[in-house]
Amino acid sequence: MRRYLGGRMGDVDFLLIAQSEVVRYEAYSQLPLDRLDLYRELVFPRMVHLGGAFRSHLDVINLCRRSLPPGDGPCRSDDLLSVWNLPSCAGVHLANYLLAHGIRTCIINNFDAEWGRICAVYSACKQPPLVGISTTFHLAWTELKRMVRKLRGFAPDMEIAAGGAFVHAQTLAAEPPAFEKPMRRIGIDYVLHGFHAENDLLGLLMARRHGSGLAQVPNLAYLERRQTRAEFHVTPSRWNAPVLGEVPFRWDRLELPFVHGTLQVRTSCGCPFSCAFCSYPKVAHGFQTMDRDAVARLLESAFRVPGVRRLCFIDDTFNVPAARFRQICRLLMPYQCEWYSFLRVQFLDDQTARLMRDSGCQAVYLGIESANDVVLGNMNKRATRKDFERGVALLKKHGIASVAAFVLGFPGETQATIRDDLDFIENSGVDFYTLKEFYYMAHTPVHQQREKYQLVGMGNQWAHATMDSPTAYRFKTEMFQTIQSAIYLDADTSLWYLVALCDAGFSLGEIRRLQREINLLTQDQMRGEFSDSHPALGRLKQLLAARSS
């Protein structure tokens, strides 16, 4: 058994579940194909029906490499291709923060792929550890319910805490006492609902260690177990500043058995922009960055982790400020690594693009959103189509691949503006693209302009003066069926899809060829042609066999 800070792997205070397979493909697979028109928007073009089940694009590759059971729900493993097998930045960050305060953490990177490890670590502990679930990628309480049910089936008395983006988002619409009902229904003991919850989590763990009360732990909703009925409590709410380099980076001292060659890292928090469809700047309370020396320490620690040679920066605005970004590129050069990031391409110049290439940048995600200047103005993107075209050309010049993301149906969108998007994707030189319909949220800037745009509805069901959500979906499918020069990627995984495949040893050229075949298969299925002997599958198997021979 691996050693962990001088003790057994199981001797931990905190068992942190960083992420899970949040899309339940087996649930979609139970829906009848002859009623596809009732749920088409939920599955296409993000999934493929193969082997009697709907599957992710990565699972199409998994199936072509080996046999998988229908849906593959209870049978995930860490050697399958999955974006959720990429090391979670939040998991490593939290474990490192807690280590600086004497808290021993076991990171479970993927709940569904590491169930055996969860059981082994929990059972090995002399005192049962607190089990924490990160909800960063959850969209509803159902994922927490699924996970908690399985955990309690294994250990009925397990103490379970939940924190992260999803639970924090609940406080934007209701006060913390509203947590009582879902906590009782699902079986959660603690909810840490602060946006930056590191210190709150530390307070909970310390209180648990010393047997002290929880009233002094801020941003906490909890059920205090009694003989008859658990009593519900909430503590005062407060804002926490982000943790950005305030504790030593000792990632090489963490137990990270799920790391192959890639780590995800973050050097800033928040966003200095205010796009009209996005809530992140408001939720994050501004934009904070890690200083140069802290970034240098972070990189040094990351590359001390055995085998790491690739980084994915998850900063929302990595190349702003520009001077700081160039400093980071120079810090990366001695490591001769590969790296990937999100990028505001409108701010790119030739010198910076050259630095990116020379420091190992392989691919970037570009939040283009629209190629029409009127829609960009409505979005408050503070960029024009020409800005994007110039930036993409610089990336192309220096051999850096790009993923261009588009939001379809924002107020002001018309058939003509959609044609501008299609033209940009076909002719600008982007390598990959994603399409996602506008998602309407009440805590975004566009909500304040709803009367101006005649915007009604909420979430993924909306209408305004120039378009509605069904029309946006129709345009999305038409674009997917039409575009030839760039390769479509699922909008929910996009950059991580590329990184996961690169982590598994695929080149970007191989990924293009594989994904093109998957898209051809998907296009035929969207026309009602379902076959497990589709020619694209044969070509996929040939491509995979050729690289392994």
Per-residue pLDDT, 67: 63
* Contact by Cβ (8 Å): 337, 309: yes
| Tokens found for residue 26 | 């087996």
DSSP for 496-511 reads HHHHHHHHTT--HHHH
Q: How far is CA 466 from CA 376, 453, 454, 456, 479, in A?
A: 15, 8, 9, 12, 19
* Contact by Cβ (8 Å): 310, 502: yes
Delimiting residues of CATH 3.40.50.280 domain(s) in the chain: 3-21+85-234
d(CA 419, CA 441): 26
Per-residue pLDDT, 217: 97
253-311 per-position pLDDT tens digit = 999 999 999 999 999 999 999 999 998 887 888 899 999 999 999 999 999 999 999 99
Instruction: Report the phi/psi class of residue 297: left, alpha or beta, with left for phi > 0 and alpha for psi in -120 to 50.
Output: alpha
Q: How far is CA 100 from CA 129, 198, 199, 284, in A?
A: 18, 12, 12, 24
* Contact by Cβ (8 Å): 84, 78: no
Amino acid at 277: F
Delimiting residues of CATH 3.20.20.70 domain(s) in the chain: 259-505
CA angle, residues 289, 290, 295, in degrees to nearest 5? 140
Closest by Cα among 370, 371, 311 to 342: 311
Q: How far is CA 485 from CA 90, 110, 426, 514, in A?
A: 36, 35, 5, 15
| Tokens found for residue 299 | 């990189």
pTM of the model: 0.95
CATH architecture of 259-505: Alpha-Beta Barrel (3.20)
Q: How far is CA 284 from CA 12, 18, 279, in A?
A: 31, 20, 9
Stretches in the chain below the pLDDT threshold 70 = 1-10, 67-75, 549
HEC string for 382-400: CCCHHHHHHHHHHHHHCCC
HEC string for 280-333: HHHHHCCEEECCHHHHHHHHHHHCCCCCCCEEEECCCCCCCCHHHHHHHHHHHH
| Tokens found for residue 183 | 């906590």
Mean pLDDT of all residues belonging to the chain: 94
Q: Which fold has domain 3-21+85-234?
A: Rossmann fold (3.40.50)
Burial of 265 (0-12, 13-18, 19+ CB in 10 A): buried
* Contact by Cβ (8 Å): 133, 147: yes
Per-residue pLDDT, 171: 94
Structure-derived torsion over alpha carbons of residues 530, 535, 541, 546, reported in degrees to the nearest 10: -160
